[in-house]
Structure 1
């Protein structure tokens, strides 16, 4: 439960060593570069944007080449590839890739050219196929489409905007040109939208006949050729064949580069690292002879910087405390269990300066609440086994994945414990199997619950859930008090924390012996007169304290009382927050009820071999769905209880994460020799 102490470091060294020092800092990965505090009019910054853009362009080029290889020669990966992490590459091999970077960029260019060639061929094929499609209706034409006719006759080629017969067309022409009879009209083809026709007439009648046809929607084709349609179609098909053959050849050449995949990955990372380094290089103030680097480093990593930089290069290395007004980046340091929920906290926001890190407290409640929501021993055991096997088998997975699997593994243990307490083992599958296949008739469970069965006593679980909620929220209020004391604000601790504790504890002690609580808990609790008086006294003192001191910074007594009354109104918010923990009951019961329904469905087929086979099928499908649905539900609602109810009592977040200057590779992890 700690935010690592940060220091500001400053390195002043000779300009000739700047690239070597930057490269060493990038390898170490323990500092965040921030030169904003350096102000010196005699120092200037180098413009590295052009060089950085070139490196970024090369990195993108290699990635594009990799995507082309993936398209035509997919890389074979296992279903667990996301857990395997980036492959290791030693420094020597990486230097060899660096030496061959020009050849690899040429390879990437070749792959892009081949891919572009295939794309252009595909576009041309589509264009030619459209031309062929447009030629199909004219296949019966045995003369070129631009044929003009003989010395005495002319050919008119075109379409009508709807299906029509020769007789219908002649009838329509006769209405406008009754004297035109010396022409031959042939319908070549029709479809649902168009009629394709050719007309041969005397040249002196061409204009009149075409006008008559246009009056009923006739139009000449947009494209014609000096070739017979069937011949033109054959030539187009031959051209398509050539383009497709060329694409096949290009694909073969692409596949021949499959062996360069790993080298392209490494060279992409090389240029990515170079771009990052030149981005920092452009931020460094420098003179003709020297340069200065400043930034943040965890206090415990200061010795590393002294050993690897100050003792190796001719430079000045200084450390200083972070200023009061300066907001340092945040890096958390927690034990193994608490570390697993750091990702959950980061998704909400890291603690800002002076704010307490709630990770340790949150981790305990997160794991406990998650287990209560899922609350099935078999499910929990299954989750834990899968997570810890994956962690053992894939030790080099990403840090975020490692944290997530540890978290679900611990939540699985919690689920197992709550399942044993509540007697849930795939719901009531043990009792159903014993009854269906072994003829057991006893009313008691084969493996009784260590505490109680929620389905048989939901009100007891409701009261317990609300009690857990009260404890959770009280811890949140306690962390708020800790923050006050840490900053030396005793008045804030008493007025904003102690008075709330007094009011809430007093109200709870007044509620417990009431008939309302007895009806919910199904048991009557009686306190001594002293306890009843103490409860009332605590509630009254707490309420008056909040009324008069919640707005203690206001001098106007009326405004102070009004704001104090508003603070007292927040008791409804506390009630709402406590009732939110009833979701522990709801999700816990949902898991058990659905599991029991699945078991009952499986047992409907009776005993025997066939009944057992069908039971197993229903069991596998049903419990897989139940586990998936309720696992997601437990995750979402546990997060909600942390973010809304728990954090709402004390936590703001908004801290800036520590972003070290390091070897931020995408494909390989470089191992120093």
Structure 2
């Protein structure tokens, strides 16, 4: 467990070398830029906003082109290919992308344009299809919808609301036209909302006829067609066919662009890295001929970086220690086992200045408690095998994902260990299968005991593990006090609490209440009982007298001490929180047993075997999934609330070096 020591590095060089130096620092990926100027007038900052915005826009265009390709020509990937990490490419390919950037961006723009044209053509097809649909009620009309009549007659073409019959319309017109026989009504079509009709009358009666029709809801088409509907429909269908053919041609041309997928990925990452470089370029102070840059680097790499910049770029670079008022970024360095819980720690908060890295202890307790909660050997074996295969098959998995898979690999081994101790193999699957299908029970005995048969015993051990967990947290608090030479704080805030808690435990164990829980009476020697009593008394007195030592008022000091002593109830609730170890362990075993019993209901028959297999697979997959989630959540809670609550606050800022931040590919490192 370690927090990597940081040093501040200050670099000053000729302005003509600034881009080359920034590119080198970006390749090294070992320096977090943190420029601190006591006097802003010492240098000016270059305005690079337009250049940076240009690179970001081009990266976005390439991303958009790739997204379009993924729609029309999706890459064939397996279910687990997302775990493989980004492809590893030679640096020469990245340099080639820089040389051919105009060509690659032309391809990206062409893809975006083609997609836009396809969308426009599809929209045109939809528009014409809507016109065809709107034309459907008029198809039996043998004249254009815009037709108005002959020299002596008028033709009124339009719609009326609701289904109508010819006689109703003639009756409506009877009062408007003296000779109703001089009016002809032709019903073109009818649907649930409208009646489509054509009314023919003498030209001199057209005004009165239309006026009467409008009282019944008559209206003319808003866009009357100049052609006969049937002929116009054929024209529209030809237009649709032409647009659809155009869509096919555009899509075919776009599919041909799929060969440029890697080029687009490279150019997108190239512009992304340039935009990041220009962001830093806009932050560094510059004079007419020089520039300066400062930041944090891991101490182990500082000398090598200084040597590199001095020899190759003539830069004046120096390192210095971290000042008291500085809060450097945090970078953790742990062994392969412990680094797997760094993500769990980061979710709570990295160590703040002055705190220790608790990753090592967190990893031990996390894996230990996780396995105790799941506690089924078969489940643990499945989880470990699955995670192990994934780790071996995808060695270039993204770092944080790899750590998470590693964590579940170790947790699976812990689950396997506890499952063997408790005799859980898919619950009691072996017992049920042997008794149901073979007529006699075959069991694998637990190496320790079966929690389902002895829940109170399991509860006691859960409390014991919780006390060890909490006492470890308090010990780490004591270690930090001693490290910082705060010996008074160590005695008052750690030793007195150990005395009180150990004394109370010593008084509790021989009591009748504990005997009722444990099922047997434990008797301590009189000397040990007396030592426990006086340890508790002296610890309580010490807490009352010295917890409020920061106050000079004696009465307030005693009040603060008494309030701190009241925190003993918090310790009690913390210890009781570890009863979840029993609850989740029992939940796994009980649900597994229920699944096995349900599966065996079909008895010893072919149908019974099929039923058992179906119920067994579905039930245990569900049980394993839900209890994996429960073990993960509750183990995190025990770390965050109970364990970290004793010594750790977090709040450190993660180390974020200036590096090549790519989205699609990784560059091979120079040897």
Q: What's the TM-score, normalizing by structure 2?
A: 0.96
Match of 2:532 in 1: 535
Cα 1:411–1:150 shift into 2, 3 Å: same
The answer to whether the aligner puts 1:517 opposite 2:500 as a matched pair is no
1:49 and 1:28 mapped to 2: Cα distance? Answer: 25
Q: CA deviation at 1:173?
A: 4.8
Match of 1:61 in 2: 61
On the 8 A contact 2:10/2:292 being kept in 1, the answer is yes
1:427 and 1:350 mapped to 2: Cα distance? Answer: 39
Match of 2:123 in 1: 123
SS of the residue aligned with 2:264?
helix
Q: CA deviation at 1:167?
A: 2.8
Moved more, 530-539 or 581-590: 530-539
Q: CA deviation at 1:414?
A: 0.4
Moved more, 131-140 or 57-66: 131-140
2:178 and 2:581 mapped to 1: Cα distance? Answer: 94
Q: Displaced runs of 4+ in structure 1, greater than 6 A?
A: none
On the 8 A contact 1:180/1:209 being kept in 2, the answer is no
Match of 2:18 in 1: 18
SS of the residue aligned with 1:189?
strand
Aligned length in residues: 669
Cα 1:424–1:207 shift into 2, 3 Å: same
SS of the residue aligned with 1:3?
coil
**1:552 alignment partner, one of 549, 560, 565:** 549
Match of 1:637 in 2: 634
The answer to whether the aligner puts 1:92 opposite 2:79 as a matched pair is no
Q: CA deviation at 1:556?
A: 3.2
Cα 1:184–1:561 shift into 2, 3 Å: farther
1:196 and 1:496 mapped to 2: Cα distance? Answer: 92
The answer to whether the aligner puts 1:238 opposite 2:235 as a matched pair is no
Q: CA deviation at 1:427?
A: 1.0
Cα 1:435–1:12 shift into 2, 3 Å: same
1:152 and 1:526 mapped to 2: Cα distance? Answer: 125
Q: CA deviation at 1:608?
A: 4.7
On the 8 A contact 2:177/2:209 being kept in 1, the answer is no
SS of the residue aligned with 1:312?
helix
SS of the residue aligned with 1:524?
coil
Cα 1:499–1:207 shift into 2, 3 Å: farther
Q: CA deviation at 1:492?
A: 2.2
On the 8 A contact 2:147/2:155 being kept in 1, the answer is yes
On the 8 A contact 2:42/2:285 being kept in 1, the answer is no
On the 8 A contact 2:370/2:415 being kept in 1, the answer is yes
Match of 2:598 in 1: 601
Q: CA deviation at 1:571?
A: 2.3
SS of the residue aligned with 1:10?
strand
1:622 and 1:264 mapped to 2: Cα distance? Answer: 46
RMSD of aligned residue pairs (Cα, Å): 1.8
Match of 1:154 in 2: 154
Q: CA deviation at 1:40?
A: 4.9
State the Cα deviation string for residues 527-550 of structure 1 (Å, max 9, x = none): 233333333323233333333332
**1:576 alignment partner, one of 573, 576, 585:** 573
Q: What's the TM-score, normalizing by structure 1?
A: 0.96
SS of the residue aligned with 1:7?
strand
Match of 1:387 in 2: 387
2:263 and 2:557 mapped to 1: Cα distance? Answer: 70
- 1:649-664 maps to which residues of 2 (within 5 A)? 649-664=646-661
Cα 1:535–1:190 shift into 2, 3 Å: farther
1:249 and 1:650 mapped to 2: Cα distance? Answer: 68
Cα 1:146–1:418 shift into 2, 3 Å: same
The answer to whether the aligner puts 1:470 opposite 2:457 as a matched pair is no
1:70 and 1:338 mapped to 2: Cα distance? Answer: 39
On the 8 A contact 2:373/2:585 being kept in 1, the answer is yes
1:405 and 1:655 mapped to 2: Cα distance? Answer: 25
Match of 1:284 in 2: 284
On the 8 A contact 1:145/1:157 being kept in 2, the answer is yes
Q: CA deviation at 1:76?
A: 0.8
Q: CA deviation at 1:86?
A: 1.2
Moved more, 89-98 or 406-415: 89-98
Q: Which runs of 5+ in 1 are unaligned?
A: none
Match of 2:615 in 1: 618
Match of 2:625 in 1: 628
State the Cα deviation string for residues 493-539 of structure 1 (Å, max 9, x = none): 22222222222222222222223222222222222333333333232
2:141 and 2:36 mapped to 1: Cα distance? Answer: 80
The answer to whether the aligner puts 1:490 opposite 2:490 as a matched pair is no
The answer to whether the aligner puts 1:43 opposite 2:43 as a matched pair is yes
On the 8 A contact 1:180/1:205 being kept in 2, the answer is no
**1:448 alignment partner, one of 434, 445, 449:** 445
Match of 1:301 in 2: 301
SS of the residue aligned with 1:220?
coil
Match of 2:266 in 1: 266
Q: CA deviation at 1:346?
A: 0.8
Match of 1:32 in 2: 32
2:501 and 2:184 mapped to 1: Cα distance? Answer: 103
On the 8 A contact 2:177/2:205 being kept in 1, the answer is no
Match of 1:183 in 2: 183
On the 8 A contact 2:306/2:318 being kept in 1, the answer is no
State the Cα deviation string for residues 437-477 of structure 1 (Å, max 9, x = none): 22215xxx621000111111111111111221121112122
1:672 and 1:358 mapped to 2: Cα distance? Answer: 32
On the 8 A contact 2:184/2:200 being kept in 1, the answer is yes
2:156 and 2:40 mapped to 1: Cα distance? Answer: 85
Match of 1:646 in 2: 643
